[in-house]
Chain A
């Protein structure tokens, strides 16, 4: 034989795929690099990024990292791959940045299916293309069976913050208004439903999606946006609490204004959960000056990710540092930060 044929990757990941040897190269060359990377690949130890073009776009870099672990790895509306890209894209977008570059580190458990990996990588690539961000650096490790829950992904992202954008808690003022970009709790409900142990069909997809187009739309009509946050783990309740913790202002939201899909609300009723605490992966909260409400909502509603955007409450000086909810019945109660894991009630 003059030339050895290309050896197929096989069905599952094994420790040799992380060893730095031939198998690892095969995994990189045949699967990871062609799937994740568009354009030429640097072969050095670090990707080099041309500065001039970045400088044209703004005056600060935004840099963020997050690790993604989720059970199950695939859920209605997304998978760990799209989550790992959109999550980091959204962290950049929330700081007012235009997302540009992404790194991706994979920690794969021995025995993981190559087919499943390939589909998750494909989904990362699709999400990256959608968010207009390039994956330019990465790392792959394989760990012993039992040492990881199938697959962990870490992504880090770099974006550029255009000049003059100043977002931060210190800009929040009394009578500002609080808006959400869409239905809350979809992701949390979809993941709960996809878990084996829950024998409850909740026909809802995760809201997993990039939000950078939405934040740009908002900032273009409302440059004085005070602050933006994506309401991921801990849900809207936690984000609102973080925004005004230790501040001289509080937030009051109205139960009747909070957009929750009937199916999600119904599932929460049954499980004794509160949609305000369910995770989201493509829904954001923003605080903006009251006079910008109409243009801001109109601009957001014109985007696919913001069709259901609406005002849910306002900043007040009544309860400094606290979030309160005016209930549908006219009562008022505190919305605290959840303690620990969400655990459904039994009766």
Chain B
């Protein structure tokens, strides 16, 4: 990795610039807060943002009038238990190798996670890309390699290109257990829920790189809320908040692109065409914490059925409800903060998560717990 790449990152972590932005944000608040009883709630849709906010301690740098609502944007967090069970059912076929991203390994199913199943003998390998999974299939012609595909539009093109490659090379022992989800219908589901109380959005930077920014136009148009596509560095996030506040001040919500060094309004034509070729929308998909959402996920298109693990193997396909005590849905919508959930920290912890948001380090509850400002506060003498 060239040193220049890191310098590039440092530019977006300059504490002096951060101070200036924070001062400007604070200066804007009095006028925005007049007549308001509760803080401004800004949802960061993407788990990557949640991670940065906690990793750099941004939420305690910002004034208390600004509250982050940690959205549904961690694909690992929102994967329902039933899908893990389905994956394990596939893994139980002798002769199958499951290839999974690292952070999906710990997601609990109703009885086990992939990590636990691996300890009991299932052949589950960690890969860093779908291409690695295909390589596994090439190297193990006598095994069935199933790639456990998940993620928003960010990771969809990788899966799509890999399926196209597998089709071109006529690889017969490779398939995809498809759990890819789509962001737009999910945001819409949150906006339409009756207890919605958001004031603006930090739009997902990586997803937008693929799908562009125009697809979010309905948010300012139909819901009158600012939407700023944001990068992941601390200064990106602070600047994006500043842009949201400016929009609130001018009362002219629109879609803005703070992350223009990476994101183009039309997205990536090449990636979109691969996605369009390989995937079709599912009518319904179940989310952890949010229930079923129409058209919120994709499956393989009919031409690629032979690469569809759900067609190749029998899966139980049972929907398993989240435990009753879970309040993940309310956290996702900003109705309560993670530590206000009745089971936060006890018994719901990253080591034994009850709810979705405790699962991945990008989940709101796990971030609160791991980076634990309130745990520090609680113990403070």
Interface residues of A, Cβ cutoff 8 Å to B: 197-200, 202, 262-263, 265-267, 269-272, 317-322, 324, 327-334, 336, 339-341, 343-347
On whether the beta carbons of A347 and B151 are closer than 8 Å, the reply is yes
With A202-B1, A266-B1 known as contacts, the answer to whether A343 contacts B56 (CB < 8 A) is no
* Smallest CB separation, B174 vs chain A (Å): 17
Contacts A199-B132, A318-B380, A320-B381 supplied; 16 other A-B pairs, CB < 8 Å: A197-B125, A197-B128, A262-B3, A269-B9, A272-B103, A320-B379, A328-B15, A328-B56, A329-B56, A330-B57, A331-B56, A343-B106, A346-B75, A346-B155, A347-B154, A347-B155
A333 vs B59: C-alpha distance when bound (angstroms): 10
* Smallest CB separation, A303 vs chain B (Å): 27
Residues of B with C-beta under 8 A to A340: 106, 115, 351
On whether the beta carbons of B379 and A319 are closer than 8 Å, the reply is yes
In the complex formed, the residue of B with least CB distance to A269 is B9
On whether the beta carbons of A266 and B6 are closer than 8 Å, the reply is yes
Residues of B with C-beta under 8 A to A336: 370-372
In the complex formed, the residue of B with least CB distance to A340 is B106
On whether the beta carbons of A332 and B47 are closer than 8 Å, the reply is no
Considering only residues 1-28 of chain B, those with a C-beta below 8 Å from chain A are: 1, 3, 5-6, 9, 13, 15, 18-19
Residues of B with C-beta under 8 A to A346: 75-76, 101-104, 150-151, 155
On whether the beta carbons of B47 and A319 are closer than 8 Å, the reply is no
Interface residues of B, Cβ cutoff 8 Å to A: 1, 3, 5-6, 9, 13, 15, 18-19, 47-48, 51, 54-61, 75-76, 101-106, 115, 125-129, 132, 150-152, 154-155, 206, 234, 350-351, 360-362, 370-373, 375-376, 379-381
* Smallest CB separation, A173 vs chain B (Å): 16
A117 vs B106: C-alpha distance when bound (angstroms): 35
On whether the beta carbons of A319 and B376 are closer than 8 Å, the reply is yes
Residue among A198, A270, A324, A339 making CB contact with B376, cutoff 8 Å: A324
User: Count of A-B contacts with CB under 8 A?
Assistant: 121
* Smallest CB separation, B375 vs chain A (Å): 6
A98 vs B15: C-alpha distance when bound (angstroms): 45
With A327-B55, A341-B115 known as contacts, the answer to whether A322 contacts B376 (CB < 8 A) is yes
On whether the beta carbons of B103 and A345 are closer than 8 Å, the reply is yes
Residue among A198, A333, A343 making CB contact with B372, cutoff 8 Å: A333
On whether the beta carbons of A262 and B6 are closer than 8 Å, the reply is yes
Residues of B with C-beta under 8 A to A343: 102-103, 105-106, 126
Residues of A with C-beta under 8 A to B152: 347
Interface of A is mostly: loop
On whether the beta carbons of B54 and A333 are closer than 8 Å, the reply is yes
Residues of A with C-beta under 8 A to B380: 318-319
A299 vs B127: C-alpha distance when bound (angstroms): 44
* Smallest CB separation, A224 vs chain B (Å): 26
On whether the beta carbons of A333 and B6 are closer than 8 Å, the reply is no
Residues of A with C-beta under 8 A to B19: 330
A341 vs B380: C-alpha distance when bound (angstroms): 30
12 contacts between A and B (CB under 8 A): A318-B380, A329-B56, A331-B56, A331-B61, A333-B372, A334-B371, A336-B371, A340-B115, A343-B106, A345-B361, A346-B151, A347-B75
Residue among B51, B56, B376 making CB contact with A334, cutoff 8 Å: B376
Residue among B60, B105, B361 making CB contact with A332, cutoff 8 Å: B60
In the complex formed, the residue of A with least CB distance to B4 is A262
A262 vs B10: C-alpha distance when bound (angstroms): 11
On whether the beta carbons of A334 and B372 are closer than 8 Å, the reply is yes
* Smallest CB separation, B270 vs chain A (Å): 19
Complex A-B, nearest 5 residue pairs according to Cβ-Cβ distance, in ascending order:
A331-B57, A343-B102, A266-B1, A334-B372, A333-B371
